[in-house]
Structure 1
């Protein structure tokens, strides 16, 4: 099984299916994975298989590395569409995430003021006021909500601590529309043979009702694109994703799919 462990603190630029030319910012160690989820579809593999030995990059290390890369790209005439916080786990887990966001916005404005700043988060720290405030400052506050079914969440997203989906939804509603919901749809089974198809109305319709309550400015739905830790997972079809996008648009929600 192949996995992707990203360099730290800067990687890319890479081409993102959803965001365009993306310069990655990884606030987690470069030698492993650090996440409050342990998703069976994560391209970085399982937490237990990639426990880091290195420390988190410091605020100063992130800022210096980012400025060096942005200055290099400016000299090369290569402009990023977006600066994306992603990488080897949950970026908002970094203790200086809010300060790093401020540094990043200042560097973006200095070198590429037209670039967007995005954060890909599993939503587990949005209850922290400093994280909430930082996410409200950026262009693309992209928060994960794969389903509202807690049994499915425990089976597929596998939170490593306490996880209350109702609290997550309330936290998302507090952004008052200043967020993008990102949802993974997939099919197949776990390696233990448990079904993980969340494309049926059993999962889609309750999730859709929660999305309506949250009222995000956009919903991004997608399916697996790389090798996954559980080898029995399958992509959702174009038709299945298009049906879900259609339901979202019928509800007046801006939505798109990455296949």
Structure 2
């Protein structure tokens, strides 16, 4: 089973296709996956295969580890391009997320003021005021919208809460008034259970593009799988397909990048 379980609370730096030299901040346990999605393409594997036994790191542990790493990098004359909240699950699910963002802004300003702060999120906690306010403070508020098709979401992204509603998510994304970057995964082929996962067709792209026009994000990042996935049957979208989708986004006046 393919798996990348990240150390916690700090990992890297690593090279990101979209963000540059990224110092990772993992707010989930270091020995497993804790996420309210169970995406069939997740590099951390399926939730059931990596149940953690440790607790999530505390606010204090995150700040202490981050400061130590930034000091170490500074002594080597290294500077991260970005401090990225990602890892073994949904970062905004941490009960102290807002305060952790406050600490990270303070430490960034002290040690590497030119670096950006990014959060990679599946958008499920943006209804919570403290999470919304924290995301408004980060440089790159990167929120997932793979599609607006509910059936596809249930088969591929597999939200673990029955209340998940992509249309309510889109409504909430509009509240950011453009301070949001939308990240969308495009796939090809069929899953191991035979489910067609190709969301590059007009059936999916057209309604998704209408949602992007409504949200008016500062940027859209489209991408496809880059690492081994837990569902082995998935295929990459082609550069030509991604470029075609990218060009449609740009044509409606929204900045867009494609990563292959």
Which TM-score band applies after superposition, normalised by the shorter structure?
over 0.9
Matches within 5 A, 1:228-247: 228-247=229-248
Q: TM-score w.r.t. structure 1 length?
A: 1.00
Match of 1:212 in 2: 213
State the distance in 2 between where 1:82 and 1:189 align: 35
Match of 2:35 in 1: 35
- After TM superposition, give the deviation of residue 41 of structure 1 in Å: 0.1
Match of 1:65 in 2: 65
Q: Which runs of 5+ in 1 are unaligned?
A: none
* 1:203 to 2:217 alignment: no
* 1:174 to 2:170 alignment: no
Match of 2:155 in 1: 155
State the distance in 1 between where 2:32 and 2:96 align: 19
Q: TM-score w.r.t. structure 2 length?
A: 0.99
State the distance in 2 between where 1:235 and 1:121 align: 22
* 1:19 to 2:19 alignment: yes
Q: Which runs of 5+ in 2 are unaligned?
A: none
Match of 1:123 in 2: 123
**RMSD of Structure 2 on Structure 1 (CA):** 0.4
State the distance in 1 between where 2:195 and 2:165 align: 22
State the distance in 2 between where 1:36 and 1:91 align: 10
SS at match of 1:137: coil
State the distance in 1 between where 2:2 and 2:193 align: 20
SS at match of 1:174: helix
State the distance in 2 between where 1:45 and 1:53 align: 16
State the distance in 2 between where 1:40 and 1:189 align: 11
Segments of 4+ moved more than 6 angstroms: none
State the distance in 2 between where 1:192 and 1:111 align: 48
* 1:224 to 2:240 alignment: no
- After TM superposition, give the deviation of residue 11 of structure 1 in Å: 0.1
State the distance in 1 between where 2:146 and 2:71 align: 37
Match of 2:88 in 1: 88
State the distance in 2 between where 1:249 and 1:17 align: 20
State the distance in 1 between where 2:158 and 2:27 align: 21
Match of 1:184 in 2: 185
SS at match of 2:176: coil
Matches within 5 A, 1:40-55: 40-55=40-55
State the distance in 2 between where 1:63 and 1:194 align: 43
State the distance in 1 between where 2:164 and 2:190 align: 23
Match of 2:251 in 1: 250
SS at match of 2:39: coil
